[in-house]
Amino acid sequence: MPDALTESPRILNTLVPPFVGQSESGELSFHIQTEGWEIIDAQASASSMFRWRGYIDLGGLEREALTFFLQSAQVTESSPPSGLGNAITIVDCFSKVEISDDDLNLVTTTGQLYTPGYLDSVQDMDQVLWARIRHYYHDSGWTLDTLQQVYNEQIWGEGIGTSASRLHITRYIICASDELSLNIGGACFQVVGTAIEEPDLNYIMRLRRDYELAKQS
- Residue-wise pLDDT for 197-212, tens only, equals 755 556 556 566 665 6
Select the more confidently predicted residue: 21 or 69.
21
Select the more confidently predicted residue: 74 or 162.
74
Q: If you average pLDDT over every residue of the chain, what do you get? A: 87
Kindly indicate the confidence band of residue 213, based on its pLDDT and cuts at 50, 70 and 90.
low
Kindly indicate the confidence band of residue 1, based on its pLDDT and cuts at 50, 70 and 90.
very low
pLDDT at 107 over 70: yes
Find all residues with CB under 8 Å of 97, minimum gap 6, and list them: 123, 127, 164, 168, 213, 214, 216, 217
Which helix (DSSP H) or strand (DSSP E) does residue 154 occupy?
strand 149-156
pLDDT at 190 over 70: yes
Q: Residue 11: exposed, middle, or buried by beta-carbon count in 10 A (0-12, 13-18, 19+)?
A: exposed
Find all residues with CB under 8 Å of 107, minimum gap 6, and list them: 43, 44, 46
Q: Which amino acid is at 36?
A: G
- Check residue 69 and give its pLDDT: 84
d(CA 131, CA 65): 26
Find all residues with CB under 8 Å of 200, minimum gap 6, and list them: none
- What's the pTM? 0.87
- Check residue 117 and give its pLDDT: 95
- C-beta atoms surrounding 196 within 10 Å: 15
pLDDT at 46 over 60: yes
pLDDT at 4 over 50: no
Per cent of the chain over pLDDT 70 is: 84
- Check residue 2 and give its pLDDT: 47
Q: Residue 52: exposed, middle, or buried by beta-carbon count in 10 A (0-12, 13-18, 19+)?
A: buried
Which whole number is the average pLDDT over 177-191? 94
Which whole number is the average pLDDT over 88-97? 95
Look at 36-40, 55-59, 141-145, 183-187 and tell me which has the smallest mean pLDDT.
Answer: 141-145
Per cent of the chain over pLDDT 90 is: 58
**β-pair partners for 88:** 136, 175
Which whole number is the average pLDDT over 130-143? 88
- Check residue 140 and give its pLDDT: 76
d(CA 41, CA 108): 13
